[in-house]
Structure 1
Amino acid sequence: MGDALFPFQTCLNASTLFPYKLDIREQLRVAAEAGYDGIEIWMRDLEAYAASGGSIAELKDYAASLGIAIPNAIAFFRWADMSETARHDGFAQAEREMRMLAELGCPAVAAPPYGDVDGAGPEHFAAHFAELVRLGRSMGVEPYLEFWGRAKRLNRLEDAVAVLDLSGIGDAKLLLDPFHMYVGGSRFESVGSLSGDRIGIVHANDYPAEPPRETIADRDRVFPGEGIAPLGRLARLLCDSGYDGYLSLELFIENFGGRTAPDTARYGLDCLRKAFSVDHIEGARST
């Protein structure tokens, strides 16, 4: 949990463990034993667990026995697709998946600009996001609006904020990710205009100077503090906004060498706490 030097909660995005090919129960165990407060699961892993005969109710009990929360899920449904047919199917998928998440006790799900959104404007996104939020809330699951730096539309923080404002849902929330902010050209200072209660969750990662912004890919992300991202400044802005929620370590490193899954999880937690610690931030303010 957060404290005076680290006023956030820690979370491990299951993507970080993908190279180890763990099932969802093993992912939960590794995250809990490493000391994280929560884990972000991926819908594909939950669906694979259920398809193999696993009980979602038992998985919920297992997470509780480990003392680890499941604050958010990563999903990909076409809620904003330009095709009405694809969008209809996307909402059917979203309803099915959010019912599973509700049974698991997971209170939120990511809603990125997945699908054909090339011709979508802010009003299009806003109308369908509002529809998605109403659907999710009817089941007790909150969609978090996510922007992707490489998307043709909804690729900057400023765009996401505009969509939230246009949606007419005053307490709707977004998902922040420094990698996507960098790739899409978002201004990190724009976080300073946000109130913390508009932020659902923050993905934590870093990126190197090379490859350059134009060609850098998800697999090039590095542990917090090992790249050039202004994480100290981001953490200060988050603190000032009043945000004290989860920072979720989301990496897509394809090979960790000889490091085991528990080693990677523990190392990532240490990097996370150091890169976003208040004493680190204070020390960086004079630089």
Structure 2
Amino acid sequence: MVANGNAERLFPFKTSLNASTLMPFRLGLDQQMRIAAEAGYDGYEIWVRDVDAFVADGKSLRTLREEIGALGIAIPNAIAFFRWADRDERVREEALAQARREMALLAELGCEAVAAPPFGDVEGVQPHEFAQRFAELVKIGAETGVEPFLEFWGRAASLSTLEDTLKVLHALGNSGAKLLLDPFHMYTGGSKLESLHIVKGRNVGIVHANDYGELPPRETIADRDRLFPGDGIAPLNQLADTLHRNGYKGYLSLELFMDNYGDLGPAEVARHGLNKLKAAFSISPS
């Protein structure tokens, strides 16, 4: 239960911390995981580049996986950047090879999924083409045990809205594919919250949690301008209600890109973020 004035509101989701939120502190992957677990998060969303750095330092992923198990925290998703939907066929081939390598690496850590945004040159790529190319990622995911989540970016040349993404899911047919939702990208791309009403909870892989203010305006707002949930104007309570009605019970992952947090240290940022996330995404018990 989450206190809200004199009323008690429900929080029916799992919580996660995205590694981007802790970037200003330049921590190792093992330190990041420990901070998230001690703050009380259910999961931690890692970045592949941090996994690469961890391995480059000669550290063992098997040992880290054992430590993660002892911490009692999950890795529900990873952030990666491979050009799986690029217009250039040769680039796509290289991207699929990269995806296979990185998914295998993530599997060693017990990571369950990986984000698949429209990274690269995707201008003019049509929904049916995204669907065909995403299906190739799904196949690799089935082989490695790491499921790709289809993500839209508000500023992408294609696949910039929830509506675009739903067209791709439709083209995929009854595949059970899952999407990654992000209020910031919904805002910058002009997605409509009403479009989420038809999305079943089973088709949502993970939801990024963040907020945004009236300024800077939508045309110029940048990732670094993201706010803690509840500190801006995003309709987060409506988003939470819709997700809950649609049957989503998965992770909300706090994803910020702030340059610094003033006097707050990483543990304080993690705890503060968790409290803000739960308050902003809580729902009425009725």
Q: For residues 41 and 110 of structure 2, what CA distance do their matches in structure 1 show?
A: 18
- SS of match in other structure, 1:257: coil
- SS of match in other structure, 2:17: strand
1:199-238 equivalences under 5 Å are: 199-238=204-243
Deviations 1:5-26 (A, max 9, x none): 1000000001000000001000
- SS of match in other structure, 2:44: strand
Determine if the alignment matches structure 1 residue 42 to structure 2 residue 47. yes
Deviation at 1:189, TM superposition (A): 1.4
Determine if the alignment matches structure 1 residue 93 to structure 2 residue 110. no
Determine if the alignment matches structure 1 residue 156 to structure 2 residue 122. no
Q: For residues 255 and 107 of structure 1, what CA distance do their matches in structure 2 show?
A: 30
Counterpart of 1:112 in structure 2 is 117
Amino acid at match of 1:26: Q
Contact 1:130/1:168 (CA < 8 Å) preserved in 2? no
Determine if the alignment matches structure 1 residue 146 to structure 2 residue 155. no
Determine if the alignment matches structure 1 residue 191 to structure 2 residue 196. yes
Q: For residues 68 and 107 of structure 1, what CA distance do their matches in structure 2 show?
A: 12
Q: For residues 71 and 246 of structure 2, what CA distance do their matches in structure 1 show?
A: 31
Q: For residues 23 and 137 of structure 1, what CA distance do their matches in structure 2 show?
A: 29
Deviations 1:192-250 (A, max 9, x none): 11100000000000000000000000000000000000000000000000001000000
Determine if the alignment matches structure 1 residue 278 to structure 2 residue 278. no
Determine if the alignment matches structure 1 residue 248 to structure 2 residue 253. yes
What 5-or-longer segments of structure 1 have no aligned partner?
283-287
Counterpart of 2:177 in structure 1 is 172
Q: For residues 205 and 29 of structure 2, what CA distance do their matches in structure 1 show?
A: 23
Contact 1:130/1:169 (CA < 8 Å) preserved in 2? no
Deviation at 1:278, TM superposition (A): 1.5
- SS of match in other structure, 1:155: coil
Deviation at 1:169, TM superposition (A): 4.7
Q: For residues 142 and 61 of structure 2, what CA distance do their matches in structure 1 show?
A: 20
Counterpart of 1:28 in structure 2 is 33
Q: How many residues align?
A: 281
Deviations 1:50-96 (A, max 9, x none): 11111111111111111110110000001001111111110010000
Q: For residues 258 and 140 of structure 1, what CA distance do their matches in structure 2 show?
A: 41
Determine if the alignment matches structure 1 residue 260 to structure 2 residue 265. yes
TM-score by length of 2: 0.96
- Structure 1 consecutive aligned stretches of length 4 or more whose deviation exceeds 2 Å: 1-4
Q: For residues 180 and 132 of structure 2, what CA distance do their matches in structure 1 show?
A: 18
Q: For residues 190 and 168 of structure 1, what CA distance do their matches in structure 2 show?
A: 18
Deviation at 1:170, TM superposition (A): 2.3
Counterpart of 1:6 in structure 2 is 11
TM-score by length of 1: 0.95
Q: For residues 134 and 35 of structure 1, what CA distance do their matches in structure 2 show?
A: 34
Contact 1:56/1:104 (CA < 8 Å) preserved in 2? yes
Amino acid at match of 1:199: V
Amino acid at match of 2:243: L
Counterpart of 1:285 in structure 2 is none
Amino acid at match of 1:187: K
Counterpart of 1:53 in structure 2 is 58
